[in-house]
């Protein structure tokens, strides 16, 4: 008797084994979580950030050792068009492209620094145009490809004080649709994942300060400060997002293209 869970994982594994995945912004948080799930399923992974530190290379080495795949770190600044294209050129192969790198800045429209607006649009949106344009010929050569863009609930809805982020995330949802239409008759798909709040180290680090500032418990901070717009009052996890990428890479998702998948605990149902 097989267990359903194992059977499903087996089906998903088969589809990415030996494929090469490039994940932008993947030395921490969601990007690293996606890289881990892909490596666990047998994909060779290319990690990226712009820092080029010893730690960055060690993260790749430890993934290679843990999952017995090839894992490489390539430094490239996703705010620079030439770096975006060089990342794909240096990778040499790109069956799965996950556009994940992203930054945030919170300020009212009239106070929003032009430099922050430009950086957010460059990293959160423009980089995906450049990497995708460079990766599509490689996918066409190998006869299969998956583009997965990490958008956000903010790709589908707005929030005050996040003008650049909301604009970039809506933009990447639009870009996803165009990539899907331009590849519709090929064995290539393009989709966007729209997480609500995800418990990344960045978010985790904010909890103790808020607990201390308001004299709240950890649970209160999470449920009544951080997750007020997420009806489930639960974070999405990086493993769940990685698992969604695996689903999009599986043959079950061959006809899923040009769409968004929300992991937001009901945020966009409100």
CB of 119 to ligand NAD, least distance (A): 8
Q: Is 28 left (phi over 0), alpha (psi -120 to 50) or beta?
A: beta
Member of 88, 101, 125, 180 binding ligand NAD (CB under 6 A)? 101
Member of 44, 77, 131, 260 binding ligand NAD (CB under 6 A)? 77
Q: Which of 162, 166, 151 is nearest to 245 (CA)?
A: 151
Member of 96, 136, 192, 198 binding ligand NAD (CB under 6 A)? 198
Task: Write the CB contacts of 187 (distance below 8 Å, at least 6 apart in sequence).
Answer: 143, 144, 145, 254
Six-digit token string for 263: 């992991």
Q: Of residues 19-58, which lie at the interface with ligand NAD (CB under 6 A)?
A: 25-31, 48-50
260 DSSP β-pair partners:
192
Q: Of residues 201-220, which lie at the interface with ligand NAD (CB under 6 A)?
A: 202-203
Q: Which of 119, 91, 84 is nearest to 104 (CA)?
A: 119
Q: Is 165 a catalytic residue?
A: yes
Helices within 102-216 (DSSP H only)? 114-121, 127-142, 163-182, 201-204, 206-214
Nearer residue to ligand NAD within complex by CB, 15 or 38: 38
The residue from 2, 73, 161, 165 that is catalytic is 165
Nearer residue to ligand NAD within complex by CB, 145 or 195: 195
Six-digit token string for 54: 């010893």
The residue count for binding ligand NAD (CB under 6 A) is: 27
Provide the 10 A C-beta neighbour count for residue 101: 24
Between 29-40 and 54-67, two packed helices, what is the crossing angle to 10 degrees?
30
Member of 145, 171, 195, 265 binding ligand NAD (CB under 6 A)? 195
Six-digit token string for 73: 């770190």
Member of 100, 189, 230, 257 binding ligand NAD (CB under 6 A)? 100
CB of 68 to ligand NAD, least distance (A): 24
Residue 188 DSSP code: E
Member of 44, 79, 176, 262 binding ligand NAD (CB under 6 A)? 79
Which range in 59-67, 96-104, 140-148, 243-251 contacts ligand NAD by CB under 6 A? 96-104
Six-digit token string for 65: 């050792």
Q: Of residues 131-190, which lie at the interface with ligand NAD (CB under 6 A)?
A: 150, 152
CA distance 238 to 125: 21
Member of 34, 60, 78, 135 binding ligand NAD (CB under 6 A)? 78
Q: Does 191 bind ligand NAD (CB under 6 A)?
A: no
Q: Which residues bind ligand NAD (CB under 6 A)?
A: 25-31, 48-50, 77-79, 100-103, 123-124, 150, 152, 195, 197-198, 200, 202-203
């Amino acid at each position: 008797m097989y267990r359903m869970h194992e059977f499903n994982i087996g089906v998903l594994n088969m589809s990415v084994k030996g494929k090469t995945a490039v994940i932008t912004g993947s030395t921490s948080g969601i990007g690293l979580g996606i890289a881990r799930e892909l490596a666990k399923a047998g994909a060779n992974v290319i990690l990226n950030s712009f820092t080029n530190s010893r730690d960055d290379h060690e993260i790749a080495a430890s993934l290679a050792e843990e999952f017995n795949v090839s894992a490489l770190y390539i430094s490239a600044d996703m705010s620079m068009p030439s770096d975006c294209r060089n990342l794909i050129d240096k990778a040499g192969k790109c069956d799965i492209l996950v556009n994940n790198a992203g930054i945030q800045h919170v300020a009212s429209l009239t106070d929003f620094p032009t430099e922050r607006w430009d950086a957010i649009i460059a990293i959160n949106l423009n980089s995906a145009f450049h990497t995708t344009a460079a990766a599509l010929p490689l996918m066409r050569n190998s006869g299969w490809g998956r583009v997965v863009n990490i958008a956000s609930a903010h790709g589908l809805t707005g929030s005050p004080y996040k003008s650049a982020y909301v604009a970039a995330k809506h933009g990447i949802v639009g870009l996803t649709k165009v990539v899907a239409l331009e590849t519709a008759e090929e064995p290539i798909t393009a989709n966007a994942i729209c997480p609500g709040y995800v418990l990344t180290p960045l978010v985790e680090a904010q909890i103790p300060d808020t607990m201390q500032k308001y004299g709240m418990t950890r649970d209160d901070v999470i449920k009544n400060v951080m997750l007020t717009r997420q009806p489930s009052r639960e974070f999405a996890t990086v493993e769940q997002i990685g698992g969604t990428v695996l689903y999009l890479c599986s043959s079950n998702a061959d006809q899923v293209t040009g769409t968004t998948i929300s992991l937001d605990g009901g945020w966009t149902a409100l």
